[in-house]
Structure 1
């Protein structure tokens, strides 16, 4: 059963402007530890690709906060929700701390997709209730 759907579009130019004003502090506020590692590698090698990565993660977390119905308030925090990629490139949500416990208690399964194109990053999240019946 679908519990929530969220979508978000982010202007990469705004992310760039925020990055130029706040620098590393902005990325450290929005990204979790694993995301920061990827972001630092990408921005060092390809600065524009690093900004697009930051924008897609920002967008996906906004979409997740809408789908879960909490907005950006506890237990939802920027760093407790990471958007990572499988080896195949498929994005997935890795939750931490109170947010992970909240979603487990509510039997939530999360699906996410992200995309970016020149000036925009967009994300879509679907949250389902997992079956709690072991015979299902």
Structure 2
């Protein structure tokens, strides 16, 4: 049964500027090591970073916490599975709020913007 839907849109340029300004510190505050490696391996990392940021926001909305109550962006991990589909893995406090749930995620890129839609389903 679907229990929550979250969505977010991110401007690629905004994420790119934050990365340029704060570098590794920005990456480590927002992303997991696996996400950082994946995004930086891309020819153009900014759209991948922005998509993952939007996905984290969408998932946090499903959890009902946003990035509050001990749920931080780097506790929500967005990685591609073997079929290149985005998947959600929760850590720490995010896992406490999201346990016993499954997430479905859709990401779309369009030049300047990325959008993420997350669906949380009770298992």
**Residue deviations 1:1-26 (CA, integer Å, cap 9, x gap):** 22110011101111122122212211
State TM-score, norm by structure 2: 0.92
Which aligned pairs between 1:26-41 and structure 2 lie closer than 5 A? 26-41=26-41
Unpaired runs of 5+ residues, structure 2, are: none
For residues 103 and 75 of structure 2, the distance between their equivalents in structure 1, rounded to whole angstroms, comes to 14
Query: Of 51, 56, 64, which aligns to 1:69?
Result: 64
Q: Are 2:50 and 1:80 aligned?
A: no
Higher Cα radius of gyration: 1
Task: Calculate the aligned-residue CA RMSD, in Å.
Answer: 1.3
For residues 79 and 103 of structure 2, the distance between their equivalents in structure 1, rounded to whole angstroms, comes to 13
For residues 122 and 3 of structure 2, the distance between their equivalents in structure 1, rounded to whole angstroms, comes to 6
**Residue deviations 1:73-114 (CA, integer Å, cap 9, x gap):** 13421111100001111111011123223322xx21111111
Match of 2:105, SS state, is strand
Match of 1:79, SS state, is helix
Which aligned pairs between 1:1-136 and structure 2 lie closer than 5 A? 1-42=1-42, 46=43, 49-104=44-99, 107-130=100-123
Question: Deviating runs (4+, > 2 A) in structure 1?
Answer: none
State TM-score, norm by structure 1: 0.84
Paired residues in the alignment total 123
For residues 21 and 93 of structure 2, the distance between their equivalents in structure 1, rounded to whole angstroms, comes to 31
Match of 1:34, SS state, is helix
